[in-house]
Structure 1
Amino acid sequence: MMSRTRSTSPISRTVSRRSLLAGAGAAGAGLGLAACGGGSGGDGGTPESDPDHKDLVMTVWGGEADKIAYQARVDLAKEKFPDYTITLQLIPSENYEQKVQTMISSKTGPDIMQVAENVNVYSSKQQLVPLDDYISAAGLDMAATFGPVGENYRWDGKTYGIPDRSGAMVLYYNKDLFDAAGIEYPTADWDWDTFLDAAKALTDPAKGQFGYGGVGWWPQWFSLVAQNGGAVLDPETGAPSVNSPEAVEALQWAQDLYFTHKVAPTAVDYSNMGPEMGADGAFQQGLVAMNSTGFWAVGGNAGIEGLNWDIAPFFHGKEKAVSAFGSALVIPTAAKNPQASFEIIQFLTSAEGQTPIADLGQDVPANLELQGSDAFLDPEWLEADANLEAFPESADMIFTPKFIPEWNEMQKSVDDAMASFWLGESDAKTTADDLQSRLERVIKPSE
């Protein structure tokens, strides 16, 4: 059993002031967008900016490590825009949505805000400023700068967020267990059959060892559905489509990993491993040979003495598709100077403005230039020889379910409908039909 060493969190290191990436310093330059509209973004137009408002608040969620990384970036923005006062406001994740909703409704700010899958909970209520006019005036090429995730934060033909953090789900694997089984390490060429053959060979009931950590979390099985040519939500309208033949087939394949092939631990198996055990912990203890999750596992795995691990892109099905974990920066309609807010957002999402994300090992920066640089791929904080190239290599594979305004209600429906499925108490078709009905009751498709 692997033992955890003392904390090796990269975020505790001082921000490296290495030479920042060339060309990124131009963010915000030449941004001369003329204000139009009547002082509110509620009608879908660009709101008027008050150039005298120079005290801006940026609100994000997270813990102490996130605070350090965001503050380092805010400090860079202050150097770039010395006329602005930029204050970082960090709210714990569990309280974030309630507090920012209160601030927006009471017109008390903030000027810049972090969002994720719930972006259109706000945009559908006309609480966010559409950014298309700013993007056009700045000459910002969203696709070239951020890849497919540049489309993530659009709703009804308008862009509401600029991607800030975005890393694909990847496949972590235990090199020692692969070597012992005589199996070649995973590559981006692995398909479902290749993966399953390896998972079977890596499963050893006598040792309590499983080939794979499982796919019970929605980003995992949503990816499988997309790989099989299906979609939980229609990519154009957001309408539920989880009971399509393609989706049902993918769900049955996922369930079979647990109860037919027995290459992934069931809930009972995890409980037998120890209290509050999950796939991440089981991987770190050598009890599962492969695990699909996000960038945050890099630091956790690196802190385990004796764990010989690496990373590969997530395997694929008929199509290449994988979920990404990320967030964007948006401008609430309560912002008094949205022009200034956008200038700061453009800088913060440039390679220069995102460098502390890489320097401190906080996450995968959304900016593709930085993702492909040594600052991210060969960071000073990571002593392990890990293939971080798996993240930019996966960038073109990223798909995103439609970020519908009813995202929170959808998640509850998913949790309720899928609970018995992952216990093996219902089959894929029955579960998919039940989930389809639940989603149709809560989701109003866009036109």
Structure 2
Amino acid sequence: MNNNLKWLSLVLMSSMLVLSACSGGSGSAGGSAEPTPSNEPSGGGETAEQPKKEPVTIEFMGHGNPNEKKIFEQLIASFEKKYTHVKVKYTSVPPGEYGQKLTTLVSSGKAPDVFYVGGSEFYRFAESGILMNLQAQLDQTDLFNPDNVWKQALDRYRYDGSTVGTGDIYGLPKDVGPWAFVYNKDLFDKAGIAPPPARAGEWTWDDMLEAAKAITADNNGDGKTDVFGVGAYNLESAVWGNGGDFLDSTTGTVTIDKPEFYEAMQFAADLNLVHKVSPNQEAEQAMNAYTRFVNGQMGMFAMGPWDQPAFWDLPFGWDIAAWPASPNTGKTATWLGSMGFAVSAKTKHVEEAFNLAAFLSLDEEGQRQNYQLGQAVPNLIDMANGEFLAYEKAPANRQVFLDIIQDYGRTDLPARSKDNQWLDTFWQEASKVWNGEMSAKDWTAMMQPKLQELYDKGNK
């Protein structure tokens, strides 16, 4: 998931990560693609007993930072060793350009055979028949044991013809992305304070604020803060932990004007406005929160598993903890992202395209390489609970990733509606709260009817 865009997005760490999401078989949103013949089980690789296959080239498009591109180049090389007749043409697009490029390719009939899809794009593409129904292939392959794949990830890619979350599978999880609370151990030691605990509910906003004040420092005495206690505090975590939400998905009601919401939003804003433990807009423009953290100038931040390769090279100690709990509820929450591998309903190479998606999502060796290279938590539950937890590299508290997946992670916001103009408008206009122009209570009361109108227009 990647992720550092505008100042307000960094302050909130809303999931721009969910940007983070086609070529012809018989599958469509209403039917199944033809199953692989039983004498050539999909996902099984090639053997000497099988007839030699004609060379095939398939196209795969994703997005990510240079580390992610490097990781997928290695995974694709492993796939090509297993399926020797297949050549994969891999294109990695900058995250900010991916959605538009994919939409253009789909509209022109030139979609890749396999591509990333996530959030609202999955809903729209499944509804439009752009994605292949993978259920028939999954029923044939020996790679797929639904009991050993995170339900929280699989259900993101189910579609029954009208609703996301139930029915057949139209995509395979690239990952399930727990958004964790990361901290600089050296700065905590220097401040003489205990680090945040790994168990949810043991540390509250108040505890976090006390630690942030102890870490925040003007080291050279020039009147400017050199080290901040916390940055890019996750608004979703604050709102959900406080018992609020952005949207009642059952009724389609935007709920930002409720006390549980605006009190949490004001808490996040006051980290800078009142307590000065988080960068303001000017400081953020000079150096964003991610850069401050990797430079050792921020005590607490946020990270996904995909950040591990860069963090492994940091010159200071770090670990992850549970997000602080609301003192009003005692509850902890954070968002759980995901990106999926989709196969085009128009691919001319159904078997090979499915095999690539399945290898990247479900193959045991592929999943092992994935976590060892620092890309993701394994999609395979037994691997995640076993060798992933025992892996010697940081973070030491790897269990936090699994706790988020299993206990207190919530579906990231963009995946909860097929048109997100209402949500984009929320983030764009929220600067009035972050810069202190309006209180969260007044701003949310003003914005609720506007956002409701946008939500209704795009989703009802």
TM-score bracket for this pair, using the shorter chain length: 0.7 to 0.9
Letter in 2 for 1:116: G
Letter in 2 for 1:119: F
2:302 matched to 1:292? yes
Gaps of 5+ in 1: 1-37
2:404 matched to 1:394? yes
2:372 matched to 1:359? yes
- Aligned to 1:173, the other structure's residue is in SS state strand
2:444 matched to 1:441? no
Structure 1 residue 172 displacement after superposition? 1.8
State how far apart, in whole Å, the 2-side matches of 1:422 and 1:72 are.
42
2:230 matched to 1:212? yes
Contact 1:417 1:431 (C-alpha < 8 Å) held by counterparts = no
Contact 1:177 1:289 (C-alpha < 8 Å) held by counterparts = yes
Task: For residues 409-444 of structure 1, give each alpha carbon's deviation from its aligned partner in whole angstroms, at most 9, with x where no partner exists.
Answer: 244312322121111111112222344333323324
Superposed counterparts of 1:69-108, under 5 Å? 69-82=71-84, 84-108=86-110
State how far apart, in whole Å, the 2-side matches of 1:82 and 1:237 are.
51
Contact 1:171 1:292 (C-alpha < 8 Å) held by counterparts = yes
Contact 2:177 2:377 (C-alpha < 8 Å) held by counterparts = yes
Letter in 1 for 2:228: F
2:263 matched to 1:249? yes
- Aligned to 1:88, the other structure's residue is in SS state strand
1:171 to 181, 193, 196: 181
Contact 1:120 1:404 (C-alpha < 8 Å) held by counterparts = no
1:126 to 123, 129, 133: 129
Contact 1:110 1:334 (C-alpha < 8 Å) held by counterparts = no
- Aligned to 1:289, the other structure's residue is in SS state strand
Change (3 A) 1:74 1:270: closer
Letter in 2 for 1:401: D
State how far apart, in whole Å, the 2-side matches of 1:64 and 1:173 are.
24
State how far apart, in whole Å, the 2-side matches of 1:82 and 1:186 are.
49
Identity %: 27
- Aligned to 2:129, the other structure's residue is in SS state coil
State how far apart, in whole Å, the 1-side matches of 2:153 and 2:346 are.
26
Q: Report the RMSD for the aligned CA atoms in angstroms.
A: 3.3
Gaps of 5+ in 2: 1-24, 38-52
State how far apart, in whole Å, the 2-side matches of 1:111 and 1:193 are.
50
Structure 1 residue 246 displacement after superposition? 2.0
Superposed counterparts of 1:295-310, under 5 Å? 295-305=305-315, 307-310=316-319
Following TM superposition, where does structure 1 have runs of at least 4 consecutive aligned residues deviating by more than 6 angstroms?
49-53
State how far apart, in whole Å, the 2-side matches of 1:286 and 1:60 are.
31
Single out whichever of 200-209 and 282-291 deviates more from structure 2: 200-209
Single out whichever of 99-108 and 423-432 deviates more from structure 2: 99-108
Change (3 A) 1:358 1:119: same
- Aligned to 1:424, the other structure's residue is in SS state coil
The equivalent residue for 2:384 is 371
1:336 to 348, 356, 361: 348
2:28 matched to 1:41? yes
Task: For residues 355-412 of structure 1, give each alpha carbon's deviation from its aligned partner in whole angstroms, at most 9, with x where no partner exists.
Answer: 2222322344444334344457525xx5x67444432233222211351454552443
The equivalent residue for 1:224 is 238
Aligned residues: 398
Structure 1 residue 256 displacement after superposition? 2.3
The equivalent residue for 1:11 is none
Change (3 A) 1:423 1:290: same
Contact 1:114 1:328 (C-alpha < 8 Å) held by counterparts = yes
Letter in 2 for 1:193: D
TM-score normalized with structure 1 length: 0.76
State how far apart, in whole Å, the 1-side matches of 2:344 and 2:174 are.
16
Change (3 A) 1:124 1:320: farther
Letter in 2 for 1:233: L
Letter in 1 for 2:189: D
Letter in 2 for 1:349: S
1:148 to 152, 158, 161: 152
The equivalent residue for 1:59 is 61
- Aligned to 2:246, the other structure's residue is in SS state coil
Structure 1 residue 186 displacement after superposition? 0.9
Letter in 1 for 2:434: W
Change (3 A) 1:112 1:250: same
Contact 2:35 2:136 (C-alpha < 8 Å) held by counterparts = no
Letter in 1 for 2:382: E
2:213 matched to 1:200? yes
State how far apart, in whole Å, the 1-side matches of 2:252 and 2:349 are.
32
